[in-house]
């Protein structure tokens, strides 16, 4: 799976689609969650940092986790003395971090993770008390979203009810879905949600 993204990394930021998704996801997150300059945030599946670098100016620190070294190289190249995101190549489900975060964000990565129940348990474990998640992904689709094939795509988007159950089973409360954006392609239209939830006290 990381091979797919290693190959795509150099051209990932080209074109409008991914930039528009990241922009809309960022707007949706900031309209629903108060990001504070005291917060440390984890961006799961950060890729080249399209979302991470929008979040970074608002908070204390952002860690961008990804399995693709090449995507993270692109992320690292955007670091400057003024704005930094810490790249980390690691599978946090099998190798949890010692650090706990005020919040976990993610855009368009969850459909690449087979066991989403385990993923939400991992997110829960990596949050401080009262921490939040804000996770963006596709609404259920027919498998036509990925124009270059479905290798490494474990979910054709998500049914909200099933996802809500998995999130609640991991221990989260206040699970809310928000429409963020709709991608229009020749093959169809693909709405994207942001689901927010908080760690139970
Ligand atoms: C569709 S890209 C999205 C990247 C970025 N969030 C964006 O919006 O441009 C999905 C990213 O998730 C990463 N990914 C997939 N499974 C992962 C996992 N288990 N842990 C960390 N990253 C993962 C991939 O390597 C890829 O960079």
Cα(103) to centroid(ligand 1), Å: 17
Length of the chain: 201
Beta bridge partners of 178: 194
CB-neighbour burial class of residue 201 (10 A; exposed 0-12, middle 13-18, buried 19+): exposed
Atom of ligand 1 nearest to the CA of 13: 9
Cα(169) to centroid(ligand 1), Å: 23
Cα(68) to centroid(ligand 1), Å: 8
Q: What is the pLDDT of residues 68-124, one digit of tens each?
A: 999 999 999 999 999 999 999 999 999 999 999 999 999 999 999 999 999 999 999
Question: What is 2-199's CATH topology?
Answer: Rossmann fold (3.40.50)
pLDDT at 3 over 80: yes
pLDDT for position 1: 63
pLDDT for position 72: 98
Counting residues of the chain whose pLDDT is more than 70, the rounded percentage is 100
Q: How far apart are CA 2 and CA 7, in angstroms?
A: 9
- The closest residue, in CA terms, to atom 23 on ligand 1 is 45
Q: Could you tell me the residue ranges of all domains in the chain?
A: 2-199
Q: What is the pLDDT of residues 18-54, one digit of tens each?
A: 999 999 999 999 999 999 999 999 999 999 999 999 9
Cα(71) to centroid(ligand 1), Å: 9
Q: How far apart are CA 94 and CA 90, in angstroms?
A: 9
Q: 0.75 cut: is pTM over it?
A: yes
């Amino acid at each position: 799976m990381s091979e797919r993204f290693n190959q795509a990394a150099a051209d990932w930021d080209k074109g409008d689609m991914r930039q528009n998704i990241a922009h809309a996801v960022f707007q949706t997150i900031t309209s629903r969650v108060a990001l504070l300059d005291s917060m440390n945030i984890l961006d799961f599946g950060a890729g080249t940092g399209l979302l991470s670098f929008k979040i970074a100016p608002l908070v204390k620190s952002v860690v961008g986790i990804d399995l693709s070294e090449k995507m993270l190289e692109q992320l690292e190249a955007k670091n400057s003395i003024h704005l930094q995101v810490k790249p980390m190549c690691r599978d946090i489900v099998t190798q949890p971090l010692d650090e706990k975060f005020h919040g976990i964000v993610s855009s368009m990565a969850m459909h690449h993770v087979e066991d989403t129940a385990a993923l939400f348990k991992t997110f829960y474990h990596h949050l401080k008390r009262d921490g939040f998640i804000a996770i963006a992904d596709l609404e259920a689709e027919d498998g036509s979203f990925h124009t270059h094939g479905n290798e490494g795509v474990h979910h054709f988007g998500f049914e909200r009810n099933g996802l809500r159950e998995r999130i609640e089973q991991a221990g989260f409360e206040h699970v809310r879905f928000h429409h963020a954006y709709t991608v229009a392609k020749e093959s169809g239209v693909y709405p994207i949600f942001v689901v927010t939830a908080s760690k139970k006290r």
